[in-house]
């Protein structure tokens, strides 16, 4: 292999080890070296790592798509199912003269139900229920104890990896978080009454 796409090309091996471990065991990432264009790749890599983390956290990562069941109304005392659909994304850019590819994946979620209750961070994004099962408890459902309008939001946490000039994917030491736009959920209560007539017989009756 050769690094001839620019000046000061150097072949480097990428290594990984656990942080905070005395005498960590370093392991190679990938099966072959890749290029860094710098006179001092070791010192340059630290600058590049910081630049990648900043670019990762500032990237226009699409928020997860949040769904409420039922919506836009639900009932006091019933389970309202909330789930989010988020997907991996890829960003390509030039940083400090290097071609960088950043791949992100959703890993955790925090559910803010708008009434002061929060669930997460959790690895569970939740999932849909058929309409016939609305009101059942799920891992991410919530029961409201009072009526009102509540802004519901989900924050998705993304982990990332990056490659330099087509090299192996390297874990990014940090996370990015993206909050979905709030959806206002109206919580209602129900009342039951006994009636003797239908609305055709008594048009002024309850519920007519």
d(CA 79, CA 138): 8
pLDDT of residue 136: 95
Q: How many CB atoms lie within 10 A of CB 20?
A: 5
Instruction: Phi first, then psi: give them for residue 51, nearest 5 degrees.
Output: -65, -40
Q: Would you place residue 5 in the very low, low, confident or very high pLDDT band (cuts 50, 70, 90)?
A: confident
In this prediction, residues 111-124 reach a mean pLDDT of 96
Q: What is the CA radius of gyration of the chain?
A: 26
pLDDT of residue 137: 97
**Residue entry with tokens 């960590």:** 24
Instruction: Give pTM, 2 decimals.
Output: 0.84
């Amino acid at each position: 292999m050769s690094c001839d796409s620019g000046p000061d090309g150097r072949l480097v091996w990428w290594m990984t080890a656990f942080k905070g471990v005395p005498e960590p065991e370093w392991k190679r990432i990938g099966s072959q070296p890749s290029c860094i264009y710098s006179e001092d790749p070791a010192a340059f890599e630290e600058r590049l790592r910081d630049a990648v983390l900043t670019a990762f956290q500032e990237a226009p990562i699409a928020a997860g798509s949040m769904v409420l069941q039922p919506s836009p109304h639900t009932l006091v005392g019933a389970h309202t199912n909330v789930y989010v659909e988020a997907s991996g994304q890829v960003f390509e850019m030039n940083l400090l003269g290097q071609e960088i590819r950043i791949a992100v994946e959703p890993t955790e979620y925090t559910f803010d139900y708008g009434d002061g209750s929060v669930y997460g961070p959790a690895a569970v994004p939740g999932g849909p229920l058929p309409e016939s099962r609305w009101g059942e408890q799920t891992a991410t459902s919530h029961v409201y104890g009072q009526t009102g309008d509540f802004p519901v939001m989900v924050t998705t946490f993304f982990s990332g990896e990056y490659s330099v000039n087509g090299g192996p994917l390297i874990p990014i030491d940090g996370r990015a978080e993206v909050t979905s736009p709030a959806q206002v959920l109206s919580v209602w209560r129900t009342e039951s009454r006994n009636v003797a007539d239908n609305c055709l017989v008594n048009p002024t009756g309850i519920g007519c």
